[in-house]
Chains A and B, each alone.
Chain A
Amino acid sequence: MSRDGIKIILGDLKYKSAPNSNLIIPIPFEQNVKELIQYNRISNVNLAQLYNDERELSTIFRPTFKIELLFKNFYSGTTNYPPFENNLYYVNENKGSYLSCSVFNDSTIPPGSKNNAVIWSGFPQYNEFDFIRNDYNVTGYTKAPGIENLTEQIVFNSKSAGTYNWEFYLTYPFSSTTLEMSAFLDPKEDGAQTGDVNWNANEGIPFRISVGNSDNVTYQGTRIIRFSSPIKHGITPGEFVKLKIYNSNDINTNKLPYTGFSSSLDTFPVFSLGNGQYGTEDYVFNIANLGYTGTVFNQDNEGVAKRVISIENTGDTTSKYYVRLHKILVPYEDIVLTKAGFENNIFGMNKKYESASTTPDYKSRVSIKEGSQTYNITFNKDIDTSNIFDNQKRPISELFLTTIWKGYLGWTYGGPNGNNSNYLKRGWDFNLGMKPQSIYVKFPINFSGQTKQGIVPLPQSFWGTSNGALNHSNIEFTSYTKNDNTFYYVNSLKKDDIVDGDFCEWNESEQTEKVISKVNHKIYFNSAYFSFYPNITATIYDGVDDDGYSSFNLQMPNIQPTTPIPSGLNFVTGFTPNTIYNHNPYGYYYNPHYSIKIKEFSEYIETAERSVVDIPNYAYFSKSQNLFIWRDFLPYGINKSNSNGVDSPFINNAHYPFSSFTFRLIPEGTTYWYENTTTQDSPITDYCE
């Protein structure tokens, strides 16, 4: 009973002639005091529960990685730098030794002297790419500490064996940024332009209108406007796109909003995906052409699009785009790189014996072209994630093993003339591969003695020098001088240094980060020290030759220039190796960031009003819904339907997550070295099956 203002009135005062009577007031006494129940006083020690509690609370991680280095030594070439030349995996050793011997009959060269005119070509040995170098104290190449070093490239410090070529770091995405990007796009539509599209990363995914509003193309009976992108757009039909369409391909301008109708429009429903060809759904989206007029939706107009899930709530459902930034959490000094016992890749080691008579320095040795070692990585220091937050300000859920090419021996950096024009290059998956160009060259398939001739496009891509600083990583260089040459290598990164990461999309209503395109690094040889473009001057013609190729035609070494000049061609200029070099020297690229999951987000999106307690501080507040939105972390050992969750061992009050991955060092332009590719027909299906 809650009323405490009870007034007791005499009976005859209630109404006239009312009788007086005795009153009884029942007063219920409520008492909420309870005794402690026995359950709360006695508790069994539950080891499993205690283990789970400690596991959930622990923020200490000791990740372990197993890395399989998968590498095909692809480019054989030449070098005039003796320490390097004397340590190649030769491909013309017989020819080289023959030429060397033949000069003994030349009275101008003292017997036994090396003939520098002989070009020894071969592959850089596997030690130049391996995670741990083992060429300790190799005569003429590396010196042991304490021994006077005259001409050898380095004094080999064993402790640095694992950091001469590569350096490993543990990183986490802590922030994001925007960058100007460029990608090659071939829409493969009638009349549609082929070429680069440029955009700012934060403005969405790039596109080129491959079917304009005036093209009258229909899809399922509806006129459409088609947008082709070099990137997977991640859009599904029924969703919307917020567009920005450049004026004259100037990325800082916008033709939208469209004002041809009564309202201004810059967000449009996606009608369908793809252009009818296999696999284009991920890259092409169409909007219905409602009769748009003007030049806004002209074919070949370029722009950027943002995915919008709901037109009713664009504030929460418009995706954000950015480049993740990684911060160094553990520097290379605290990383323990070891060879894994008993595990090699399936391709084995490729090596051969070079006898003293077939080497330029007359020393026998075993040369290794490719190895098969697998490596383990652990850390000297524990990783405490209690105060580390990711780029969405959430407690971090994944760490990254970041691999950076150091190139200490100097064969890859420094540029053709010893200046600093070679960079550690940075691009994304959409930058891989070559752009077909309208210019073609003839040059040998294999520079290692064979002179098979093929016609291939001159290599050109995002990675070429034409893109300037767009594809330069932000890692600085240092140099040293040896044998009157300057050699460059990238600096080691320190704790809290920043490295660019993947191109990502984030949508507040989904609370999910999607990687649109992974970042890649590319390395390529400094042609002053290693070149697989022959050191000759050739002739370039312009025009259309008998093979139907337009533009210029290049004659390379051991192939006599075509005489007379083929009909349709005109002499243009002399050709030097730098011509190719400046276009896009071939190299190797790799993915620098490999993830290891340490926590998993729930597949359910939580919502709560402001009054609810215990809302995580990383929750997003939706003004339109007046709700907080977030995803909880799954407890360890709990799976969700589309992933395995995180169930790493927990001992020593620390988590031990493990990740195994294949680190691929991929040669670029591989498809351009072969004139023809063949495919194996599918086996006939008959009664024998």
Chain B
Amino acid sequence: MNNNYKILINNVNKNISIPIEIKWDFLDRENSIQEYQDVITKEVIGLPKNFEISRFAHDEYNGDSSINYEFNFYSGTPSYNTFTGATSTSWSPSYIHQSFTISDLYYQRRSFTNSFFKLDFYDTTSGANQINYFTVIIPTSQGKTTDVFLSQFLPPQNIKKPIFKLDYVGDKEGFFLYWLRDETFYNINTFYMTAKFFDAKIGQFIRLMNKGQFSSPLNTGNWWRFNDKDYFYNKVVFNYDNNTYQVFDTENQRIGTEINPIKMYEYLNPISP
């Protein structure tokens, strides 16, 4: 395009059409770029995620809110013949059956106070691909008591027993479960809970079952022949609306209430005949 025009005289008016080329630009292109930059930045870094947790309490029943656990230890001799003949009375809620003496319990020896129950919460009962999302510890400093005689010359004294009534007041460690409040992060409201007892006196832990090895059909020669998912888990269902949870057994009956506590039984490893 030439921009140097020469106009010669010929006594006639002339019009000159000057083509002025204009290249249009988009309005606010910079803003668009800024917006695009934000989008890309979020793609690169990611959006903020909500890892905040909420407190879930045991759901009420009949005006009560306590959750009740009863942990039973095997009291018999750990020999094949004795074990195969064991009945329900062979398991009972007493630390005495689990290597502790009355003195250990009464004097609160470290071997006892450092022992604890551990509840693990998994997303599935399949041991092959399950994830343990959180854990709750129930210390032995909590729990109900029973009377024992330290000496024939002394009045009966209270010692702890592994029966727990956890609530908003009183014993409450382990009563509340803390879990993500945002359902969108992990869309999960059902967990499967297992229990273990960590014995500080012998430095071992034992697994606890939801049914004793005395119960049918395990007691008919199937003491160690069963599927883990049926005997080691109880189901815990969270309600995100009112921040509560309920516990169910394998028959989907609600447990953990005052009259129907969560009963767990010591699992004994296979014993040779």
Q: Which residues of A contact B (CB under 8 A)?
A: 8, 10-11, 20, 22-25, 27, 29, 31-34, 36, 40-41, 43, 45, 47, 50, 54, 62, 132-134, 136, 145-146, 155, 157-159, 161-162, 333, 336, 378, 380, 382, 651-654
- Kindly list chain A residues whose C-beta atoms are within 8 Å of the C-beta of B9: 10-11, 20, 22
Q: Across the two chains, which residue of chain A brings its CB closest to B5?
A: A25
| Pair A158/B65 contact, Cβ less than 8 Å | yes
| Pair A27/B3 contact, Cβ less than 8 Å | yes
- Kindly list chain B residues whose C-beta atoms are within 8 Å of the C-beta of A132: 169
| Pair A654/B52 contact, Cβ less than 8 Å | yes
Decide yes or no whether B128 CB sits under 8 A from chain A: no
Assembled-state Cα–Cα distance A27/B33 (Å): 35
Assembled-state Cα–Cα distance A25/B5 (Å): 7
| Pair A24/B55 contact, Cβ less than 8 Å | no
Q: Across the two chains, which residue of chain A brings its CB closest to B244?
A: A159
Assembled-state Cα–Cα distance A11/B11 (Å): 10
Q: Across the two chains, which residue of chain B brings its CB closest to A160?
A: B168
Known: A157-B63, A159-B65. A134 touches B169 (CB 8 A): yes
Assembled-state Cα–Cα distance A384/B157 (Å): 54
| Pair A33/B49 contact, Cβ less than 8 Å | no
Q: Which residues of B contact A (CB under 8 A)?
A: 3-9, 11, 13-14, 16, 18, 20, 22-23, 25, 29-30, 33, 37, 41, 44-45, 47-52, 54-55, 57, 60, 62-66, 167-170, 181, 242-243, 258
Q: Which of A11, A158, A382 has its CB near the most chain B CB atoms (within 10 A)?
A: A158
- Kindly list chain A residues whose C-beta atoms are within 8 Å of the C-beta of B50: 652-654
- Kindly list chain A residues whose C-beta atoms are within 8 Å of the C-beta of B54: 380
| Pair B169/A45 contact, Cβ less than 8 Å | no
Assembled-state Cα–Cα distance A380/B179 (Å): 11
CB proximity of B51 to chain A, nearest CB, Å = 5
Assembled-state Cα–Cα distance A50/B34 (Å): 13
| Pair A380/B62 contact, Cβ less than 8 Å | no
Assembled-state Cα–Cα distance A380/B241 (Å): 10
CB proximity of B12 to chain A, nearest CB, Å = 9
| Pair B33/A380 contact, Cβ less than 8 Å | no
| Pair A158/B30 contact, Cβ less than 8 Å | no
Contact of B30 among A24, A40, A133, A652 (CB under 8 A): A40
Contact of A145 among B18, B41, B48, B63 (CB under 8 A): B63
What are 22 A-to-B residue pairs whose CB atoms are below 8 Å? A8-B7, A11-B9, A22-B8, A24-B5, A27-B18, A29-B3, A36-B29, A43-B41, A45-B41, A45-B45, A47-B45, A50-B45, A145-B64, A146-B62, A146-B64, A158-B66, A158-B167, A158-B168, A158-B170, A333-B242, A652-B51, A652-B52
CB proximity of B270 to chain A, nearest CB, Å = 41
Q: Across the two chains, which residue of chain B brings its CB closest to A33?
A: B23
CB proximity of A577 to chain B, nearest CB, Å = 36
Assembled-state Cα–Cα distance A27/B17 (Å): 12
Q: Across the two chains, which residue of chain A brings its CB closest to B170?
A: A136
Known: A40-B30, A132-B169. A157 touches B37 (CB 8 A): no
Q: Across the two chains, which residue of chain A brings its CB closest to B24?
A: A33
Known: A158-B169, A336-B55. A22 touches B45 (CB 8 A): no
| Pair B6/A22 contact, Cβ less than 8 Å | yes
CB proximity of B7 to chain A, nearest CB, Å = 5
- Kindly list chain A residues whose C-beta atoms are within 8 Å of the C-beta of B64: 145-146, 157-158
Q: Across the two chains, which residue of chain B brings its CB closest to A137?
A: B170
Q: Across the two chains, which residue of chain A brings its CB closest to B9?
A: A20
| Pair A22/B7 contact, Cβ less than 8 Å | yes
- Kindly list chain A residues whose C-beta atoms are within 8 Å of the C-beta of B47: 653
| Pair B65/A45 contact, Cβ less than 8 Å | no
Assembled-state Cα–Cα distance A31/B25 (Å): 11
| Pair A161/B48 contact, Cβ less than 8 Å | no
Known: A31-B23, A33-B23, A159-B65. A652 touches B33 (CB 8 A): no
Assembled-state Cα–Cα distance A378/B53 (Å): 11
Known: A24-B6, A25-B5, A652-B51. A159 touches B168 (CB 8 A): yes
Assembled-state Cα–Cα distance A453/B51 (Å): 64
- Kindly list chain B residues whose C-beta atoms are within 8 Å of the C-beta of A134: 169-170
Assembled-state Cα–Cα distance A520/B125 (Å): 56
Contact of A23 among B7, B45, B169 (CB under 8 A): B7
Q: Across the two chains, which residue of chain A brings its CB closest to B54?
A: A380
- Kindly list chain B residues whose C-beta atoms are within 8 Å of the C-beta of A47: 45
Q: Which 4 A-B pairs have the closest CB atoms?
A: A653-B48, A145-B64, A158-B168, A158-B167
Known: A33-B25, A380-B54. A161 touches B8 (CB 8 A): no
| Pair A162/B5 contact, Cβ less than 8 Å | no
CB proximity of B15 to chain A, nearest CB, Å = 9
CB proximity of B3 to chain A, nearest CB, Å = 6
Q: Across the two chains, which residue of chain B brings its CB closest to A650?
A: B48
- Kindly list chain B residues whose C-beta atoms are within 8 Å of the C-beta of A54: 48
- Kindly list chain A residues whose C-beta atoms are within 8 Å of the C-beta of B48: 54, 652-653
Known: A158-B170, A159-B168. A41 touches B33 (CB 8 A): yes
- Kindly list chain B residues whose C-beta atoms are within 8 Å of the C-beta of A159: 57, 60, 65, 168
Assembled-state Cα–Cα distance A161/B66 (Å): 13
Q: Across the two chains, which residue of chain B brings its CB closest to A40?
A: B33
Assembled-state Cα–Cα distance A25/B2 (Å): 13
Assembled-state Cα–Cα distance A93/B228 (Å): 62
- Kindly list chain A residues whose C-beta atoms are within 8 Å of the C-beta of B51: 651-652
Assembled-state Cα–Cα distance A516/B206 (Å): 66
Assembled-state Cα–Cα distance A62/B53 (Å): 11
Known: A146-B62, A654-B50. A380 touches B55 (CB 8 A): yes
| Pair A161/B45 contact, Cβ less than 8 Å | no
CB proximity of B235 to chain A, nearest CB, Å = 23
| Pair A162/B168 contact, Cβ less than 8 Å | yes
CB proximity of A149 to chain B, nearest CB, Å = 11
Assembled-state Cα–Cα distance A651/B51 (Å): 9
CB proximity of B46 to chain A, nearest CB, Å = 11
- Kindly list chain B residues whose C-beta atoms are within 8 Å of the C-beta of A652: 48-52
Known: A27-B18, A145-B63, A158-B66. A45 touches B5 (CB 8 A): no
Having A33-B25, A133-B169, A136-B169, one finds 8 other A-B pairs with CB under 8 Å, namely A8-B14, A24-B4, A50-B41, A146-B64, A159-B57, A161-B169, A382-B52, A652-B52
Q: Which of B13, B54, B168 has its CB near the most chain A CB atoms (within 10 A)?
A: B168
CB proximity of A246 to chain B, nearest CB, Å = 54
Q: Across the two chains, which residue of chain B brings its CB closest to A55?
A: B48
- Kindly list chain A residues whose C-beta atoms are within 8 Å of the C-beta of B242: 333
Q: Across the two chains, which residue of chain B brings its CB closest to A25?
A: B5
| Pair A155/B63 contact, Cβ less than 8 Å | yes
Q: Across the two chains, which residue of chain B brings its CB closest to A133?
A: B169
Assembled-state Cα–Cα distance A653/B185 (Å): 13
- Kindly list chain A residues whose C-beta atoms are within 8 Å of the C-beta of B23: 31, 33
Assembled-state Cα–Cα distance A651/B45 (Å): 15
Q: Across the two chains, which residue of chain A brings its CB closest to B167?
A: A158
- Kindly list chain B residues whose C-beta atoms are within 8 Å of the C-beta of A25: 5, 7, 16
- Kindly list chain A residues whose C-beta atoms are within 8 Å of the C-beta of B66: 158
Assembled-state Cα–Cα distance A47/B66 (Å): 47
- Kindly list chain B residues whose C-beta atoms are within 8 Å of the C-beta of A20: 9
CB proximity of A45 to chain B, nearest CB, Å = 5
